[in-house]
Structure 1
């Protein structure tokens, strides 16, 4: 595995790969690699001959009160995991390399980014859209793999790629879960044993939603409120939002219609750790 830190060198490397007709897939991460990230690498290896992983803790997607400086950065461990997983190139630039002095161009993510995580984290998705565009320009992949756990982020990226005619296939990969059902996340390391146990209520809520929809219930808002109440009953947890949305527009859906796809979005606090989860349902 080759580690590259300069954008120009990464662009030169992928240009040679493309001239040799290599299909390239990229997995973008902020490091602190876990099973979820490695599942994206596995997906990438199944569809491309060359896999690039990026590790970059993007300052532009963190708010002033968020954990940018506390975010884990175990680079040597991450590099070992990436190599073992079969990554061919690890692109790990500094913030100064990605955002050089005088940088001023950003992408506005639009309406799809305004609710839910966009409301809770103002400017977050503009930072995501900007860095993803930059990393796509630097790594020049044929495909980019993103996890469904960050469902709104995935929706923003899909919309951006369509709107800007970016020549890349965006490939989604399912949520990876712990035995309890808790979605794997870099922030899970901050959970105590009791908080981790309580946080499994997010997945229990998702399963409960599935059972209610199997009964042909159409009152999505009422189901969401029932799941919120489940979370509130957990001593270590408190809900942030619970809502069904149309999977394409991310507009809140109150009532289900036949032959449609709706995504249940959940955000909740376990102690001081904010967790998100989701699942797509077809009616």
Structure 2
């Protein structure tokens, strides 16, 4: 049986994303964080992990990025995107105007902040480890109202007061499928390659790396930096490239970048999701 780790509990958008990959014979394993999902790969407890990596409203999911940088034995082999909208739910029979404690994931809170301000101005925000966990908090009496996927209301016997809630109707989240020591997917003509690297802390160090891509016409679709947490003022740079790692221009750029970095690792190469 193929085991797939995802941010739980059951009823999260990450579970929905995991199931959308349609992995034959999959057993879905809920864990408490993206880091735990990737650690389960390193430990050999699961075959795949699915993690949110980027949100169109709140930007990069930094917990996933940090965990990917620390996971040497795994790589990204696929991605999917979900349109994100929430249901507002309470225990059965409870009215919204009496709610005092509002729970959801902090990223989700940014996506419904305006709606909550207009409709639930009296509530205190309580961060949850996931949107489904927020629904569980409501069911257990630890919060009064939650923003979560509709399925979470069904799982916990909650009453839905509003559907399709999102401050921006274009909100989407990108999820990646990570495998242990993956076989590299073949080029499709519409691929993405991700790398993480470090440079010396000196003027022009980052520019020299980026110029290798520009010189070969390789499009960088995303760049983020994260502190290494090893030394002050040192950073990991995450770059997504348009193209497959075996494409001549991408392969040449990656080889040239090695001369300008103190460490570099490919995080994966995979087909881009259809839009």
TM-score normalised to structure 2 length: 0.31
- Larger radius of gyration between Structure 1 and Structure 2: 2
Name the one with the larger strand percent. Answer: 2
| Higher relative contact order structure (alpha carbons within 8 Å, sequence separation ≥ 6) | 2
Q: Under a length normalisation based on structure 1, what TM-score does the superposition of the two structures give?
A: 0.30
